Chains A and B, each alone.
Chain A
Amino acid sequence: MQSQWQEICELDDIYPHSGVCAEVNGRQVAIFRLSENSELRSIENFDPIAKANILSRGIIGERNGKPVVFSPLYKHPYCLDTGVCLEDEGVSVPVYSVKTLEEKILIRVK
């Protein structure tokens, strides 16, 4: 059951180039919309360095062509493809699968 796709919200609920936080199986998950269309990424919402549930509220940037989110508190960049903190490779956050189906956002958390 657990690794099934779950419906979270409408695509339209997320402003382009921003993120939201969703509760999935008791976890806090950050979902980012990278463009006007349905290009999405999802990582854990908890920033292990700042120790707060805030990653969904960071600004989205780019490092070497890859999307990154800058943690709001101490500005650590986390790669949205891999979850690795680009300033401290020893630190990373889980990455989740996310997609859209008929304008709805679906997520799968193992």
Chain B
Amino acid sequence: MKHYDFIIVGNGMVGNKFIDYAIKYRHKEEVGKQSKALSFLVLSEESKLAYDRVQLSSYFSNKSAQDLSLASEEEYRKNNIDFVTNCKVLSIHRDDKLISTQCGQQFTYHKLILATGSFPFIPAIKGSKGESIHVYRTLDDLDAIKQSACAASTGVVIGGGLLGLEAANALNNLNLKTTVVEFAPRLMPVQLDKNGSKLLKQKIESLGLSVLLEKNTKEIISGEQSRYRLNFTDGSHLETDMIIFSAGIRPQDKLAASSGLATGERGGIMIDSYCLTSDKSIYAIGECASWQGSTFGLVAPGYQMAKVAFTHAINTLKENIGKTKSSQEEPLEFCGSDMSTKLKLLGVDVASIGDAHGQTENCLCYCFSDETDGIYKKLVISADAKHLIGAVLVGCTKDYGQWLQLYLNQIELPASPERLLFPEFDESSETNASGVHSLPDNAQICSCNDVTKKQIHGCIQSGVHELSVIKQETNAGTGCGGCTQLIGQILTCELEKIGVAVNNHICEHFDYSRQELFDIVKTTRIKTFAQLISDYGHGNGCELCKPVIASILASLWNEPILDKPHLGLQDTNDAFLANMQKDGTYSVVPRIPGGEITPDKLIVIGQVAKDFGLYTKITGGQRIDLFGAQLHELPQIWKRLIDAGFETGHAYGKALRTVKSCVGSTWCRFGVQDSTGMAIYLEQRYRGVRSPHKIKMAVSGCARECAEAQSKDFGVIATEKGWNLYVGGNGGMRPRHADLFATDLNDKTLIQYIDRIMVFYIRTAERLQRTSVWLESLEGGLDYLKEVVIKDKLQLNAEMEDQMKHLVNSYQCEWKNTLQDTKKLKRFNHFINSRAPDPEVVFVDERGQKRPADEKEKAAIKNAATSHLLTTA
């Protein structure tokens, strides 16, 4: 029988979080000490490993099971986490520390972790079991609902709580006429007060859903027009084709209870502050656990429990093997959790904080209700008017982050707390008192991942000034995402303090932002860096301002970047018109517009690669990269390529990279436009245009989107009537789907729009800002961009088009230009005073091509050479 240090029962969100901690811990431990690896076994009743249950509903809209997955079999295997799916644990024999599963296996454990979650409660109503009657908890449930919906035109959700409304939304999206049936006199009775619920109900009804309140279902029988009929206790009834029960959840504590573990009065496995159950070898975490009589139906408290339990278990293990206290992890305790929530239900923003119903004795309430715009806000304040104890927001949850922090940290409120209801009218400094800098250091900013303000501070102070990196480093904002805005505010606030954001100067040599410099260069028509820095800057310039100004000069005047006044401004790759590789050699990437290439040209590339012994690879951008060229070989290689009709591909530049295409209507049976032709046209039009960061485009010939246009800065997708234009897509580190900018454009308008957007981006973006980030930080966002580009709000369109025309007309291939100038070519030698190549560049063979030798190989080759010399001598 196999023994494990840890067995985890249940692989829901919380069970998986426990494994995350284990994997992280192992990486940390095993690098240092080589201690014997701990063994883990995961047993899951579901067929899939952990997935994001919180986002479950998006399975109906845009996410696949793959998108939702939180763990992969590969990841588990790689980290030596054993697992069995489709395998329910039936019993625990605590005396032998042994468990038995449904599949007949038995395992023994040192520590057992119960993470069995909850199950949907189905009230004891006659007829509540049957075909097309569902619950809403797992991916399998959703598959079954989808199936039933195919044969249904009406649907009922029993339960008007949080989950019930999500389920109703799903049915509505599946085009069923949907009714929500709630027993209580209002929707979301747990979170919202009467007025908040009323507003929510109005909003939901305006979307075409029906809401029935105060209806108690007595029985479900066969219907006359539809499959079922619900009879209510008040004598009324309702017919429907399918039913989803969403009448609350109950902790899954059966397994624990049957093995004699203590359970709470209202269900749930009893745990202490270390998440230990009544058996000191067994922990319970997540929705199945009951702490001080309460269970927690949200993911954040579950995640906290996972961390607490893991830390405690590891520390006990270490204690057992006699490790000193100092080598232990910081001990943690679970101390309850806040149940405040913010959600978007059926497109309506809803949030509640603390005592939303104002049940605390002598509390004071302030309300604001705007029926035209459908906004309702309520503040519940302590009797002494000093602290926030609860709140409700419907229709607009902008204030949630701020209020939640006031509540969680019990920050003293300004003298007239009602002003919190109208922050936009309140210019006084008092609202600032509720701003992020008034938050105490230990304020928890991200509740999903338990990250404090202090940790975020620390990260910023260590030099990280980008939101995306802060998220990566601290984990904050990577759960529900609800805290992202707040993290952004902390960042701005901190940067202001250290003087970074207050000025957006590009560096110490220019007291201007990139955009301001762009305008200066444009209006003064300055053509060189030397002129600009002497008129508008100070000092000699640096690695930050030089490339920025090189880019601005090129975007405006388009002079060859290796001309004498510009050369010293270029970053390494631009300076040699090639991408430097790890060993100091270069890659060569000829342009292959739209990815279309003739056999003859393919042969040229092959022949050149052969003659110069280059490693060749097809890139992710539909072209061919030749690696391992030495500095002195670049001009010779390019001479051959240019003679054969190739041009530089700008793989080294912050400029247009590739325009990816699919074959489109020319060959493909589905294509509706000539996508390849359009891609080639675009690539040839915009090649060489320098921009704040690289630009990628793609054109697909139909909605199947084989060219992946929606992941590009500019994406074009063919329609029956023309082209749809998308902007702001990004792959890379932080992928972003592009936004739909305009539909069914003809060729001319498409080009016009791209011209304008591109020039506007070049003018207004920060240095090294891709269009995705630019669009997100553009005040007014996509709508504003549309106004500028489509409606000519700034009256700039004619000018922007002229600028693009100039760039298109002044294009020349940088390599061709360079090859014509012997002075420029002189730099393309490893040594200025000798023809020899770099003697330390060494290659070895792999899969029939060369690659750079690593340190060991280099040493071995050197040794062999010297011993060879010795023997021949």
* Partner-B contacts on A (CB < 8 A): 8-9, 13-18, 20-23, 28, 31, 34-36, 50-54, 57-63, 65, 67, 70, 72-73, 77
Contact = CB atoms under 8 A, between A and B. Distances in A.
Interface in B827-873: 827, 830-834, 836, 838, 840, 855
Interface stretch (B301-309, B468-476, B575-583): B575-583
Contact of B569 (A17, A65, A72): A17
Contacts of B836: 23
Contacts of B855: 51
Contacts of B584: 52-54, 57, 72-73
Interface stretch (B349-357, B479-487, B541-549, B742-750): B541-549
B580 A61 contact: no
B307 to A, nearest CB: 34
Contacts of B541: 17, 61-62
B580 A73 contact: yes
Given A15-B568, A53-B838, A61 B543 contact: yes
Given A57-B575, A62-B541, A20 B832 contact: yes
A5 to B, nearest CB: 14
B568 A17 contact: yes
Q: Which applies to chain B's interface (DSSP): helix, strand, loop or mixed?
A: loop
A60 B582 CA distance: 20
A23 B836 CA distance: 9
Contacts of B583: 52
B570 interface: yes
Contacts of A53: 584, 830, 838, 840
B437 interface: no
Residue from B541, B547, B576, B831 whose CB has the most chain A CB atoms within 10 Å: B831
B567 A58 contact: no
A22 B834 CA distance: 8
> For the complex, would chain A's binding face be called helix, strand, loop or mixed by DSSP majority?
strand
Interface in B281-340: none
Contacts of A23: 831, 833-834, 836
A87 to B, nearest CB: 11
Given A31-B832, A57-B580, 9 more contacts: A8-B832, A17-B567, A17-B569, A22-B833, A57-B576, A60-B568, A61-B541, A61-B542, A61-B544
A9 B832 contact: yes
A62 B540 contact: yes
Interface string B812-834: 00000000000000110011111
A51 B842 CA distance: 12
Nearest to B826: A13
B580 A59 contact: no
B643 to A, nearest CB: 27
Contacts of B580: 54, 57, 72-73
A64 B682 CA distance: 44
A59 B550 CA distance: 12
Contact of A35 (B540, B542, B546, B840): B540
A15 B562 CA distance: 10
A36 B568 CA distance: 11
A9 B834 CA distance: 10
5 contacts: A18-B567, A22-B831, A57-B575, A62-B542, A73-B584
A62 B533 CA distance: 14
B235 interface: no
B768 to A, nearest CB: 13
A72 B580 CA distance: 8
Given A52-B583, A52-B584, A73-B580, A59 B833 contact: no
Nearest to B508: A62
B599 interface: no
B546 to A, nearest CB: 6
Interface string B509-539: 1000000000000000000001000000001
Contacts of A35: 540
B82 interface: no
A70 B571 CA distance: 9
Nearest to A36: B530
B564 interface: yes
B830 A18 contact: no
A20 B544 CA distance: 21
B222 interface: no
Nearest to B565: A16
Contacts of A63: 542
A52 B582 contact: yes
B840 A72 contact: no
B539 A65 contact: yes
B572 A13 contact: no
Chain A CB within 10 A, most for which of B567, B569, B572, B833? B833
Interface in B578-596: 580, 582-584
Contacts of B540: 34-35, 62, 67
A50 B547 contact: no
Nearest to B583: A52
B840 to A, nearest CB: 6
A110 B219 CA distance: 99
Of B568, B569, B580, B834, most buried by chain A (CB within 10 Å of CB) is B568
Contacts of A70: 543
A23 B840 CA distance: 13
A8 B547 contact: no
Interface centre among A31, A60, A67 (most CB of B within 10 A): A60
A62 B507 CA distance: 11
Contacts of B542: 61-63
A74 to B, nearest CB: 10
A16 to B, nearest CB: 6
Contacts of A31: 832
Given A20-B827, A65-B539, A57 B582 contact: no
Contacts of B572: 57-59, 72
Contacts of A34: 540
A35 to B, nearest CB: 7
A70 B834 CA distance: 25
A49 to B, nearest CB: 12
A99 to B, nearest CB: 16
B840 A16 contact: no
A15 B564 contact: yes
A50 B852 CA distance: 13
Contacts of B564: 15-16
Contacts of A54: 580, 584
A73 B852 CA distance: 15
B570 A59 contact: yes
B582 A13 contact: no
| Nearest 4 A/B pairs, CB to CB | A17-B568, A61-B543, A72-B572, A61-B542
A99 B301 CA distance: 68
Contacts of B573: 72
Contacts of A8: 832-833
Contacts of B571: 59
Contacts of B832: 8-9, 13-14, 20-22, 31
A1 B607 CA distance: 48
B442 to A, nearest CB: 32
A59 B543 contact: yes
B337 to A, nearest CB: 42
Nearest to A75: B543
Contacts of B567: 15, 17-18
A63 B827 CA distance: 26
B630 to A, nearest CB: 11
Interface centre among A52, A58, A77 (most CB of B within 10 A): A52
A15 B826 CA distance: 11
Interface in B452-468: none
Nearest to A16: B568
A50 B582 contact: yes
A51 B859 CA distance: 13
Contacts of A18: 567-568, 575, 827
Contacts of A15: 564, 567-568, 827
Contacts of B826: 13
Nearest to A57: B572
A17 B569 CA distance: 8
A72 B585 CA distance: 11
